[in-house]
């Protein structure tokens, strides 16, 4: 006797079958890495667009990105691509690993340990990639 499928499971199965019939190569498709298609904005541009250039008494771009990272963590760290892009842009603005970790850890009290852990794993992955790219650049 098999367990009955939930409506969501049935919908996902139907969608997978439809995708396979349209393009068999999409069967193994994963959206991971889509965030890499969006370029990292230069820190001067981020400060001009998102910082306090037009609102001189307002928040700088790095603080706004920390707030974004906190909010994404609060949502359960489900928006992986958005977390990756935010961490990448924070690193471009000169954020330190410790600061990024503290921002995510602060959310454990509000979002819970699982959300904090997931956001931390994503951030560590981005930081590792960033450090590897820097080492490659130094060797050239």
Q: Are residues 61 and 103 in the same domain?
A: yes
DSSP-assigned letters across all residues of 66-115: HHHHHHHHHTTS--HHHHHHHHHHHHHTT--HHHHHHHHHHTHHHH-HHH
Confidence of residue 114 (pLDDT cuts 50, 70, 90): very high
Distance CA 120, CA 100 (A): 9
Q: Which domain holds residue 20?
A: 1-30
CATH number of the domain at 82, please. Answer: 1.20.1290.10
Q: Are residues 11 and 58 in the same domain?
A: no
Distance CA 32, CA 122 (A): 11
29: pLDDT strictly greater than 90: no
Confidence of residue 44 (pLDDT cuts 50, 70, 90): confident
Q: Are residues 72 and 41 in the same domain?
A: yes
Q: Are residues 54 and 13 in the same domain?
A: no
What is the pLDDT of the chain when averaged over all its residues?
A: 83
Confidence of residue 121 (pLDDT cuts 50, 70, 90): very high
């Amino acid at each position: 006797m098999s367990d009955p499928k939930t409506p969501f499971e049935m919908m996902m199965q139907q969608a997978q079958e439809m995708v396979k019939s349209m393009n068999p190569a999409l069967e193994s498709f994963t959206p991971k890495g889509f965030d890499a298609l969006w370029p990292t904005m230069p820190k001067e541009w981020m400060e001009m667009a998102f910082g306090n250039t037009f609102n001189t008494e307002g928040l700088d771009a790095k603080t706004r990105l920390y707030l974004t990272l906190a909010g994404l963590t609060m949502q359960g760290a489900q928006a992986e691509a958005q977390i990756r892009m935010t961490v990448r842009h924070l690193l471009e603005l000169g954020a330190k690993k410790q600061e990024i970790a503290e921002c995510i850890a602060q959310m454990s009290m509000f979002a819970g340990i699982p959300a904090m852990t997931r956001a931390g794993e994503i951030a560590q992955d981005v930081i590792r990639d960033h450090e590897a790219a820097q080492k490659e650049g130094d060797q050239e």
